[in-house]
Chain A
Amino acid sequence: MAIHMKVLDTSFIISIFLIEDENHPKAVAIFNNHNNEELLLLDTILFETLSLLNRRKGMDEAREVHGKLLACSKLHMHYLSDAQRKEVVKAFLEQKGRLSPADISVILACKTALAAPLAFDKEIVKRVQV
């Protein structure tokens, strides 16, 4: 069986853990169906996800989700190198849109690893396909 890689975006991962999110059922179904794939979680996305969880649910929830994510063997944490961070900043400054550095890190990771994003953010999906 071929192993494909997917890069997780905040718009997707947050929908998994915020059960009140209208995208939650879809996110869980997609997440469940990707159990044969390698999932890449960038540090930029982890930071955004934890910040958002803290804002909406508090630190207890953020800590619990953090522990569960890092314990999951299918999820590969990737901490951006200095060179990758510089590349993200360069792309951020050159953009004409409203993407955040975290969004750009997902797009660059997808292009580098020839991976697809797991995102509900249509702009990210569109930029990866270009």
Chain B
Amino acid sequence: MSKLINVSDSVYEQLTRIKRAKGQSYSEAIAGLLPAQQAAKKTDNWDELIAWIKEQDKKFKGKREKIDHDQILYGDPYEGP
């Protein structure tokens, strides 16, 4: 079924950009922007996520260490001249 809707020029422009970027139809582009549609695609997998993390834990046999994520990402801090 087709229905006509009115949207502003700026909304039309944005929808066209999304449609082209994702290779979708206008309907698919709009559906992808709807929160309910996005939520429906998600599974309430909190328990699954926790179970997966705990499963990884079981495989770990080593010793835990202090990990400085800033050092890994950005290197040693500047100490001045």
Q: B-contacting residues of A (Cβ < 8 Å)?
A: 10-11, 14-25, 28, 31-32, 35, 48, 51-52, 55-56, 68, 71-74, 98, 100
Contacts and interface: CB of A to CB of B under 8 A. Distances in A.
Contact of B56 (A11, A19, A51, A55): A19
**Which of B49, B72, B74 has its CB near the most chain A CB atoms (within 10 A)?**
B49
A48 B72 CA distance: 10
Given A72-B46, A74-B46, A17 B67 contact: no
B64 A21 contact: yes
A100 B60 contact: no
Interface residues of B, number: 27
A73 B67 contact: no
A55 B63 CA distance: 20
Given A21-B65, A32-B50, A56-B72, A73 B77 contact: no
Contacts of A100: 70, 73-74
Contacts of B9: none
Contact of B53 (A21, A28, A74): A28
A10 B74 CA distance: 13
Interface string B52-73: 1110110110111111011011
Contacts of A10: 69, 73
B80 to A, nearest CB: 12
Given A16-B53, A68-B49, A71-B43, A24 B64 contact: yes
A15 B66 CA distance: 10
B44 A68 contact: no
B74 A20 contact: no
A61 B65 CA distance: 19
B27 to A, nearest CB: 23
Given A55-B72, A56-B72, A71-B42, A17 B65 contact: no
A20 B65 contact: yes
